[in-house]
Structure 1
């Protein structure tokens, strides 16, 4: 089975060894410098007296993060799935620092970042996160998106790995998911997970005294630069520059 066939069937797939250890080290160093520079920013999420465990608004804090998507075979895969107009619409960062782990229950990713909240028609439940308006998107939007999770550490049974329900991306509501066994994902630093937003997923705590990070750059990509009902993406960074007229 090819990666494309698995993505369509299961809603997720891995591209292995996309980034060399040296590239991963550079990305970690860049992000470390940015978190120190923006340590008091609401977009950088920290616990009481703990290290950063997440961050929002990376397209503002770290604009160069988009370049991570412009390498092969990742760029070719995204253009194959999303088309020539593919763009990055939101970037997050996650970590489970040693001694400061966390867990998430089963869920699907419905929320998108928009320029402004408007009437709730196709889009619902307007909120604001770290100063950025967000709404719950309908299936017609989410089905034309792919999430790219670039792993900066190995993901193992010890550091709270991601669990997914294969095939659940075909259903908007978790209550409609087919009864299927979950799969626990493992990978190496430099591997990339492609995942549809509607895949039902969860993760548990890292094991006590594991002493491992689980750092991930989470990039949400969309096929269309224009949203329905007059909504606009907060960010839309084209993966490929427009051709000159």
Structure 2
């Protein structure tokens, strides 16, 4: 793996795609563990267009060993840094007939253990008993997101579309995008590959048109400690 190249792509463009992080056997193991999980928890969201598991690593702890294989650990340590740890995780299963789509946005909130009055932290929201808050932009700039793809994903089944370099513009409102100046890229990822992105990168996801499922595990990483009143809601130590 060309770690310096991936790091450069992420710093300059806001994203990178790395193929073959997982074997077919590892993908099958991950899928089997997910399929065996009791889906009645409040953190599970089920509809005809989407199946999602919030706090994924907490809800499906048995997946951790196979998910954090040596290749992924090498990526985290070499591209992010050895002091980075998971802070948020979600599993998405977008069915092949899904009409679900997400408009252009940045990921502007973090998940924390409680609500507290702290300067420059806000606004606050609560989803399924999970507190989320928009932190100072410096906190967001420290975060890396890894999207692990359990299916081949392209523009026909909801691959992320991104605006390269938009992560360098701090808070960038989607309604202000000037398409005469900006470009759009489809981040196609083969099964077993990963996409790394910065949360401030403008990204969207279109409807599925080819009847092929898209299963993705989304994990966010940080190396920061939050103000003393707050803790990361899903902080996990991965050896």
Q: TM-score, normalised by structure 2?
A: 0.90
3-state secondary structure, aligned to 1:13:
strand
Does the aligned pair in 1 maintain the 2:50–2:100 contact within 8 Å? no
The match for 1:76 is: 74
Gaps of 5+ in 2: none
Q: Which moved more, 1:113-122 or 1:101-110?
A: 113-122
Does the aligned pair in 1 maintain the 2:29–2:66 contact within 8 Å? no
**Quick one: which of 83, 92, 95 aligns to 1:94?**
92
The match for 1:45 is: 45
Change (3 A) 1:167 1:198: same
Change (3 A) 1:177 1:232: farther
State the 4+ residue runs in structure 1 displaced beyond 4 angstroms: none
Q: CA deviation at 1:119?
A: 0.5
Q: CA deviation at 1:116?
A: 0.5
Q: CA deviation at 1:181?
A: 0.4
The match for 1:219 is: 219
Provide the rounded CA distance (Å) in 2 between the counterparts of 1:165 and 1:159: 19
3-state secondary structure, aligned to 2:151:
coil
Provide the rounded CA distance (Å) in 2 between the counterparts of 1:41 and 1:141: 30
Provide the rounded CA distance (Å) in 2 between the counterparts of 1:32 and 1:128: 27
Structure 1 residue 26 and structure 2 residue 29: aligned? yes
3-state secondary structure, aligned to 1:5:
helix
The match for 2:134 is: 136
The match for 1:230 is: 229
Gaps of 5+ in 1: 241-245
Q: CA deviation at 1:51?
A: 7.2
The match for 2:11 is: 8
Change (3 A) 1:105 1:153: same
Deviations 1:82-127 (A, max 9, x none): 3222111110011220223310000000111101110042210111
Q: TM-score, normalised by structure 1?
A: 0.87
Provide the rounded CA distance (Å) in 1 between the counterparts of 2:104 and 2:132: 21
Does the aligned pair in 2 maintain the 1:58–1:91 contact within 8 Å? yes
The match for 1:243 is: none
**Quick one: which of 155, 158, 174 aligns to 1:157?**
155
Q: Which moved more, 1:95-104 or 1:142-151?
A: 95-104
How many residue pairs match? The answer is: 232
Structure 1 residue 192 and structure 2 residue 200: aligned? no
